[in-house]
Structures are given as C-alpha cells and as structure tokens.
Amino acid sequence: MRILSIKQALLRKGLAEYGTQIRAASVSAAVKDAAIGDRSIYTLDPINLNEPKFDKILIANRAFREKSLVMKTARAMGIKTVAVHSDVDSNALHVKMADEAVCVGPAPTNQSYLRADRILEAVKETGAQAVHPGYGFLSENTDFAAKLTAAGATFIGPNSKAILDMGDKIHSKRIAGEAKVNMIPGYDGEIADEDECVKVSNEIGYPVMIKASAGGGGKGMRIAWNDKEARDGFRLSKQEAASSFGDDRMLVEKFIDNPRHIEMQVLCDKHGNALWLNERECSIQRRNQKVIEEAPSSFVDPAMRSRMGEQAVQLAKAVGYDSAGTVEFLVDSKKNFYFLEMNTRLQVEHPITEEITNLDIVQQMIRVAYGHKLNLQQSDIKINGWSFESRVYAEDPFKGFGLPSVGRLTKYEEPVDSVEGIRCDSGIREGSEISIYYDPLICKLVSHGPNRQVALDRMRDALDNYVIRGVTNNIPLLRDIVEEERFRSGNITTKYLPETYPQGFEGASLNVGEERTLVALTATLQALKIARAQMFTNQRKAACIDPLLKDYSFVVELPKRDGEDRKTANVEVRFIDGNTEIAEVFVDGNKVKLSGEICLAKSVLHLKVDSESAKDATVQVVSKRPGELVVIYKGSQFKMRVMPKAVSELLKHMKEKPKLDLSSVVLSPMPGAIKSVSAEVGQMVTEGQELCVIEAMKMQNSLHASKTGKVKAVNVKEGATVDEGEILIELE
C-alpha cells in the first residue's frame, strides 16, 4: 500500500477492491479557521500550546458532527488530524477539514467504519499516534482498543478493561452493585429465548424493559406490558442488536413508570483522579432515543446532585476508568435514582455540559490519553447558566415522532449568526446527502443563557432561523416542544411525548391572530410578485398607476387538516407609499400592518406585526409556485393558496381526489431495506399481524396488517430497498 496523490486517488475511485487511499485535504486556511469555531468559552482549563501532546490523531468514526468537533479541538491544540470515510462520504465536510483522509470501504458500515482491520491499517500508514473514536461504531469496542494499544498507538478513551466491564450491561450491573450504586430491580443474567423472556418478565412484573446487553443509543430496546409484547420485543430487539452491535445477548429489568432520565458526566485520568461535571436531563425521548437535553436538570437539587456525582465517581474508580464517560440514572418522582448503564465514550449531548462548565471535554480526553493529570479539583466545577441541545434529525416527526428521511440538502443555513448564545455541531454543509445507511442526525443545536428561560427562548429563535431544505426534518416537533407549557415548567418524564401528543404530533396550532398574520403575509408576497412582474416585463407605461401603489384583492385558502372544511379569507393588500417594506392588509375586514423585509428572495423574514391579538413573527418562505405559497411558521409548514375571487368560486365545484384505502395496503413509512417478509399471497391475516420488517438507519420497524383479510399481492422480497410510500403488500 502506498500514499496516493489526489489525482491518483480520483483515478482509482470506483475500483472494486478498497485499499487505503490517503490524500492531503485541500482546504483553505480561511475555511479551516472558520471550522474551528469559538474556543473562547473554555476558560476553566484553557489549551496550553507548550504542553507535550500527540503530533497526529485519527478519528475513527463516521459521525460528521463528532469528527468535525474533534478536529476543531485538535487543530486548536496544534495536532494534525486524519479522517476515515466510506466511498459515499468522500466529499463530506470532515474529510475536507482533516489534514489527511483515508477511504476504508463502501457505504455499508460493516464494510467500512466497522472494519477495525482497515482502521488499524490506516493508523499504520498515516503514522497517527492516537485514535479518537468519537461516539458509536468502534468507540466502545474493547477488542479494537486492545489491538490499537498492541499496535503501539493510543486509544483516546478508557482502557479496554473498563470498556469491557461497563460495555456489558449484565456485568456492569454486578460491578455497580458492588460499588454501592443504587440499582434497578431486574434479572441478573442473559435471557436465552422468547419463552425465558416471558417467564422472567412475569417474575419481575410488567412493565419490563427488554434491551441488548451491548446496546446503546436506544437501539435494541423495547418496553413490554404483556406476554405478547415481551415475545415481539425480544425478537425485534435481538435482531436489531445483532445488526447494530454484532452482539445479540439480551437482558430484562423492571421498567420504572414515569421516570426521568438523568445522567452524570465524569472525567478521570490515569493517576486515580476523578471528577463529576454535573448532570444532564435527557427525558425527552422517542423510541428510547434522546430528542432534547438540558444541563443542569430543573429537578435536581444540590444535595441530590452531589449524591449522584459521588456514586458516579465511585463506579468509575471501581473499574479503573481513565477518560470521559457518562453514568446514566433513572429517577423516580421522589428523587430516588437508579443505575441504568455507563457509556464509556463521548456522548452526543456533551456540548451542554461544556457550555455550563466552560470545559472542553474533547481537549481533556486528548490530554488524559497522552498521560497528563487533570488540572482541576471537584471544587473548580461550577454551573454557569443553562444550556439546551436539540437533536436536529432528517426524519418526519408526523410519523411516530420521527421516521427517517433521506435526500440531499439543497439549502442549508445555520442560525449561529442570527441568534445570540447558539452553537451548531453539524459537520455537514449545503449539498450534503442523508442516506439510508447511517444515522439521520443533521446537527446538535445548542443554546446557552444565564437561566433556563433565556436558554429556551434562544433555542426557540434558533429553530425559527434554521433553514433546511431537501430533506424532511424534525424542527416542527422541536419548535413545538420548546414553547409547550409543560416543558417550559420542567414537568417532564420519559413519557412526555406520548402524553403531550396522544394522537401523535400534528404540527403547530395557530390562534386567530397568528392565522391572520400568515394570511396577510402570503397575500402580500403574492401582490409583490405580481407588482414586480408588471415592472420587469415592461408592462408599465407612463400613464399607468405604479404597481406598488395599486390595491390587490385575493382570496386566500387556509391550510386544513383531515376532516376540516375548506376555509378561505378575503384579503386586500396595499403597500404604504409604494414601500415594499410596509404593507397594510385587511383580512376579512380586520387590519394587519406588516413591516420589515418583505422580500421574495430571503429565506427567513423577520416581520413587525401591528394587529389586534397578533405578535411579531419570524417566517420562512419555502415555495413560491404560481398561486401557492408554502411558509414555515413556529417550525411547521403551512401551504396557502392565493387566488382571484373568480378562481375561488370555481374551486367550490371541484371534486376532491379520492383517497387510497390505506386499510388494504401496507405502505413503506420511510426509505429503507426489507429485513424480512412473513406474508404470502393467498394467506389469511388478522388485524395487527406482522407482515414484514423494514430497517433504516440502523432501526428496525415492524409493519402490520390494518385489517383482517387475504393477502392479494406481496410486492417486495427480503433485502429489497424501498422508497417512502411504496406499496409493499396488498390485501383483498
């Protein structure tokens, strides 16, 4: 194997055999400097450029956000970086940010990012002295950590024994119990099959949590409330665990109803020193995966914080832990906390801990791995304000709070420059592609403020100003949560989403004033479009009235939900003194005055609204097709039709398009790969019976029959790749 120039690497692109291809990343100094981000917040233990350090580290992970983050810190420390990537990620931002880049295989993770042998080969060829695993993939692989050490390189993470002890949930519970950490009631052993799962579940008492011993990130986990759910949950979780972790051992424990999920960040060195860096509240979850996190928790008082921190450090010391890690707890309503698991890696949500402690955790991991002692004492760790992290995913929040979406980011604008106290850990750019092979996380959007309410307000404003086009995303749900009364009060549990949205998420609700504002805006934009068209097509003559001084009349059709009648509003628009930044609008006779940058070219409009029962608004304009405008307000999309009155009258006589009978078909809820098909043509199936299983972005979903009937057609086979909305199975 040899180092290739950029030109040679490009010539070899597409070869069937993947060798290690290394190139010098051609990124301008300006781009790299911009990518570093603001490191000035890390004042607790600032970077010492005179301190001995690694010369070069390799980041052995696919997660663009974490790769970019590690690269930012490493470059600030004066350390060169190497990125590994699959063939489909060759143009990713982290590849261009790195000093060197190595192609380790094709898109499937088991042929690239999970190939420890290729990562080790890349370490050898590039001369990297250490490897940072980011999170996921090889970050908790004890075999990889041991092999790396044997090869003479340093693993920037805990020692392999600590990973082994804490990575196995069954074994970790025994160690935690011996370390006097509070424990959840459960079965102390591996569950062999579905029958044993049902037996143990009945002994513990429903509800129970079925989860993979080697799992993490919400994968390989199911809650069961009865015997049937225990059998189904065991089977699906076991398959998911084998696919995600290569380890399908399962365990069962008591599920604590209405709990909070609160975790404690720990930091340890190789000299016996250990700190706890305060807690993070991670209760807002769907499918056991975190959606919004905050630090500190509004539920934890100083005495409880101290007890949790001390127990977390006890556990870390018991296993000889020597890096950054997280001890997770379930907390009941009486502030009793129970050990859940320990994550022996950098957590996705670690930025909010950095924001409130002013400590760069990645920098500390690199220092500790090199062999330095921690420069801090427990008394140095304070709480500076409040911080939130919203996980911005490429997924559809209107389907089970988030089924994956794929596509290319045709437009991408982060809100870091428009809102104070905002940090974006994204690692992507406009033009990046979200595929079915990897996690759908686009960005970790972080806000910070002097208190909880300010931090929440900044998060709300950041979500309003975050522009993402090309893929469906979960900003509508995030935006609704941060304004929701229960969340604002801090009264949350892990059941928050199903309790707050019992019918599923349906989008933002508008009051009368907000509805009028959107109607006024869409009519104004349509009027502006017509006026500009008249001016630029030379239709204006000397004797004609200036198009911006004319009155415009429209009928605006409001967006409606299923079961609602068609709603329209009569609207008149006038630009005050021909000024496109001030419009006076009458919506069914109610005056709405708009001022600000009312512009067709801008992605985000900041409007001043002078109207009864209305307030100022931040609105995004998505589509400007003839007679139709799609706008985003309060995170949700609203499709508004603007038309002359005559057209509106004719539409009343148009028949609605008949809808597909969804009870007779099984549609693919998302793009993905078919893992199994249990239905056969001619087979009688009952309502609720599983017909097939689809996998996307490492998550498996069971698809069921909506009614009892005979299978008319099976349109897919195991292993097939399908698109969202594709008809998989038909019933008579």
Alpha carbons 166 and 214: distance in angstroms, whole number: 9
In 484-546, which ranges are continuous DSSP H helix? Answer: 485-489, 496-500, 512-536
Which helix or strand (DSSP H or E) is residue 116 part of?
helix 116-126
Going by C-beta distance under 8 Å and a sequence separation of 6 or more, which residues neighbour residue 538? Answer: none
* Peptide bond preceding 559 in cis form (omega within 30 of 0): no
Task: Give, as one character, the DSSP assignment of residue 49.
Answer: T
Task: Give, as one character, the DSSP assignment of residue 191.
Answer: B
Going by C-beta distance under 8 Å and a sequence separation of 6 or more, which residues neighbour residue 547? Answer: 530, 531, 532, 534, 535, 540
Phi and psi (nearest 5°) for 258? Answer: 55, 45
Angle between helices 169-178 and 302-318 (to 10 degrees): 110
Alpha carbons 351 and 406: distance in angstroms, whole number: 26
Please check whether residue 462 is in contact with residue 415, taking contact to mean a CB–CB distance below 8 angstroms: yes
Paired residues of 286 in beta bridges: 289
Length of the chain in terms of residues written? 732
Alpha carbons 572 and 586: distance in angstroms, whole number: 5
- Count the Cβ atoms, other than its own, within 10 Å of residue 593: 15
Task: Give, as one character, the DSSP assignment of residue 494.
Answer: T
What is the distance of C-alpha 325 from the center of its chain?
21
Within 13 Å and on the Cβ side, how many CA atoms surround 156? 27
Alpha carbons 529 and 624: distance in angstroms, whole number: 9
3-state secondary structure (DSSP) of residue 421? coil
Question: 235, 280, 345, 574: which is the annotated catalytic residue?
Answer: 345
27 CB-contact burial (10 Å; exposed 0-12 / middle 13-18 / buried 19+): middle
Please check whether residue 729 is in contact with residue 692, taking contact to mean a CB–CB distance below 8 angstroms: yes
For the record, the structure tokens of 426 come out as 């994204």
Alpha carbons 365 and 77: distance in angstroms, whole number: 12
| Residue corresponding to tokens 């017509």 | 530
180 CB-contact burial (10 Å; exposed 0-12 / middle 13-18 / buried 19+): exposed
Which helix or strand (DSSP H or E) is residue 186 part of?
none
Mark whether 345 is an active-site residue. Answer: yes
Q: Which residues are catalytic?
A: 345
